[in-house]
Amino acid sequence: DAMVIQNPRYQVTQFGKPVTLSCSQTLNHNVMYWYQQKSSQAPKLLFHYYDKDFNNEADTPDNFQSRRPNTSFCFLDIRSPGLGDAAMYLCATSRDLIRYNEQFFGPGTRLTVL
Amino acid sequence: AQSVAQPEDQVNVAEGNPLTVKCTYSVSGNPYLFWYVQYPNRGLQFLLKYITGDNLVKGSYGFEAEFNKSQTSFHLKKPSALVSDSALYFCAVREGSNSGYALNFGKGTSLLVTP
């Protein structure tokens, strides 16, 4: 089945220690998104890639970076995690941004910062 | 600015009864509206969307939603609830075809279907 895969499902890191979360897709979608979802809150978009074009949301902290080396993979790098960055991180894809814009989500990576 | 409101934190319904999860939206242009469901420790699953056309949209798992422009609402409905429908439901909106592509999610409504 075509799907969005996130690894690891659970990640524990120390305060200030860089961490990378991984997302891959077999849908061959053009767009990949990263969301942050804190406990009992709605998901919040951090950034997205349309193909190789990176689009950062205006209020995404500089501490969060992303890489998309090819169509299938997208990474979320947190350079210096703080306690406030503990959250579920959701990766999503869509075929495009307009007509076929429904987003398909991975299972998420739950990040704990000690 | 675009936003959605889900006025109910929790909806309780007995199995077999119809269910409604409410959503109202605010955008300055034409809305693109979505419903997603989230099961515990899982990602969001797409249920249905409205972009244009028929106001009644049918989606996955027997869910449907009705776009009401005059009331700026997009309520999610199902004629007969199942216990397995118990989950967290998110309404989301984005404005038209430009001015950014972020989905603005509501805070979510927890649906509990009891046997």
| Per-residue model confidence as pLDDT tens digits over B10-68 | 999 999 999 999 999 998 888 889 999 998 877 889 999 998 888 999 999 999 999 99
Count of C-beta atoms within a 10 Å radius of residue A62: 8
The domain tally of chain A equals: 1
Are A45 and B49 an interchain contact pair (Cβ–Cβ within 8 Å)?
no
In chain A, what residues touch B106 (CB-CB under 8 Å)? 42
For the stretch B50-62, what's the b/e string if a residue is b when 16 or more beta carbons lie within 10 angstroms of its beta carbon?
Answer: bbeeeeebebeee
| Per-residue model confidence as pLDDT tens digits over A5-42 | 999 999 999 999 999 999 999 999 999 999 999 988 88
Average pLDDT over residues B85-110: 82
Whether the Cβ atoms of residue A93 and residue A24 lie closer than 8 Å to each other: no
With CA atoms as reference, report the closest residue to B6 among B92, B108, B78, B84: B108
Residue A113 lies in a domain: no
Instruction: Assign B99 a pLDDT band (cuts: 50, 70, 90).
Output: very low
Residue A39 lies in a domain: yes
pLDDT of the residue at A1: 61
Are B46 and A102 an interchain contact pair (Cβ–Cβ within 8 Å)?
yes
Structural domain that includes position A95: 4-105
The rounded distance, in Å, linking the Cα atoms of B112 and B115 is: 10
Average pLDDT over residues B78-97: 89
For the domain that residue A40 is a member of, what is the CATH number?
A: 2.60.40.10
- Cα angle: B83, vertex B60, B94; to 5 degrees: 115
Domains with residue ranges and CATH for chain B: 3-114 (2.60.40.10)
Residue A111 lies in a domain: no
| Per-residue model confidence as pLDDT tens digits over A46-104 | 999 999 999 888 889 999 999 999 999 999 999 999 999 999 999 999 988 776 778 89
A113 touches chain B (CB under 8 A): no
Residue A112 lies in a domain: no
B10: β partners: B110
Interface of B with A (CB under 8 A): 32, 34, 36, 41-46, 49, 51, 90, 94, 97, 101-103, 105-108
pLDDT of the residue at B96: 56
A105 touches chain B (CB under 8 A): yes
Average pLDDT over residues B89-106: 76
In chain A, what residues touch B43 (CB-CB under 8 Å)? 4, 6, 90, 92, 105-108
Residue A12 lies in a domain: yes
